[in-house]
Amino acid sequence: MVRTLLVIEDEALLAQEIERHYAADKWRVFVAGTIKDARRLLREQGLLPLVIISDMSLPDGNALDLLEEAGVDSGEWIFLTGYGTVADLVRALRLGAFDFLEKPADFARLDLVVAGAARSARANRRLQEESGQASRKYSPASFVGTSAAAREVRDVLARLCTAPFRALVITGETGTGKGVAARILHYSGLRSGGPLVEVNCSALPKELMESELFGHEAGSFTGAKGLRRGLLEQADGGTLFLDEISEIPLDLQAKLLKAIEEQNFRRVGGNREIMVDFQVIAASNRDLARCAREGTFREDLYHRLNIFHLHLPPLRERIEDLEVLVPAMIAEFNAKADRNVRFVPDAMWEKLRSHDWSGNVRELRNVIERCVLFAQGEELPLRWLQLSAPESFGERPAVNAHTAVPANQPQVLRDANGPAIRLPLDGSLGLEAMDRAIIEAVLIRLHYNVAATARALKTTRDTLRYRIRKYGIRVEGED
Which tens digits make up the pLDDT trace of 84-116?
A: 677 777 888 788 888 888 887 788 889 999 999
Q: Residue 108: in which H helix or E strand, if any? A: helix 107-137
pLDDT value, residue 262: 93
**Integer Cα distance of 319 and 306 in angstroms:** 28
Q: How does pLDDT run along the chain (479 residues), one tens digit per residue?
A: 568 999 999 999 999 999 999 999 889 999 999 999 998 898 878 888 999 999 988 888 888 888 888 876 778 999 988 766 777 778 887 888 888 888 877 888 899 999 998 988 888 777 766 655 655 678 899 899 999 999 999 999 999 999 999 999 999 998 999 999 999 999 999 998 889 999 999 888 877 899 999 988 887 777 677 788 899 999 999 999 999 999 999 999 999 999 999 999 999 888 889 999 999 999 998 899 999 999 999 999 999 999 999 999 999 999 999 999 999 999 999 998 889 999 999 999 999 999 989 889 999 999 999 999 999 999 999 988 888 654 433 333 333 433 334 444 555 554 444 456 777 665 556 777 788 888 888 888 888 888 888 888 888 888 888 888 887 787 765 54
Domain with CATH 3.40.50.2300 in the chain: 4-133
Q: Could you tell me the sign of the dihedral formed by the alpha carbons of 344, 349, 353, 356, in that order?
A: negative
List of residues 6+ apart from 222 with CB closer than 8 A: none
**Integer Cα distance of 83 and 165 in angstroms:** 45
b/e code 438-465 from CB counts within 10 Å (16+ = b): ebbbbbbbbbbbbbbbbbebeeebeebb
**Integer Cα distance of 236 and 305 in angstroms:** 18
List of residues 6+ apart from 132 with CB closer than 8 A: none
pLDDT value, residue 451: 85
Rounded to the nearest angstrom, the gap between the alpha carbon of residue 226 and the centroid of all alpha carbons in its chain is 27
Domain with CATH 1.10.10 in the chain: 411-471
**Integer Cα distance of 402 and 464 in angstroms:** 32
pLDDT value, residue 400: 40
The Cα-based distances of 271 to 128, 214, 257, 268, 274 in angstroms read 35, 13, 19, 9, 9
Amino acid at 359: G
**Integer Cα distance of 309 and 160 in angstroms:** 10
Domain with CATH 1.10.8.60 in the chain: 315-384
**Integer Cα distance of 89 and 326 in angstroms:** 58
Judge: domain 411-471, CATH 1.10.10: yes
Q: Is the Cβ–Cβ distance between 302 and 288 less than 8 Å?
A: yes
Q: Is the Cβ–Cβ distance between 278 and 236 less than 8 Å?
A: yes
Which homologous superfamily does the CATH classification assign to the domain defined by 140-311? P-loop containing nucleotide triphosphate hydrolases (3.40.50.300)
Long-range own/partner contacts, residues 356-360 (CB < 8 A, 24 or more apart): 356/316, 356/390, 357/314, 357/315, 357/316, 357/319, 358/446, 358/447, 358/449, 358/452, 359/174, 359/175, 359/446, 359/447, 359/449, 360/173, 360/174, 360/175, 360/176, 360/177, 360/314, 360/315
Half-sphere exposure of 400 (CA within 13 A, CB side): 2
Residue 284 Ramachandran class (φ > 0 left, ψ -120 to 50 alpha, else beta) = beta
Domain with CATH 3.40.50.300 in the chain: 140-311
User: Closest Cα partner for 438 from 477, 406, 467?
Assistant: 467
User: Closest Cα partner for 321 from 313, 309, 333?
Assistant: 313
Domain 4-133 class, CATH top level: alpha beta
Could you tell me the end-to-end alpha-carbon distance of the chain, in angstroms, rounded to an integer? 39
User: Closest Cα partner for 373 from 404, 337, 420, 415?
Assistant: 337
pLDDT value, residue 449: 86
pLDDT value, residue 395: 39
Domain 315-384 class, CATH top level: mainly alpha
pLDDT value, residue 346: 93
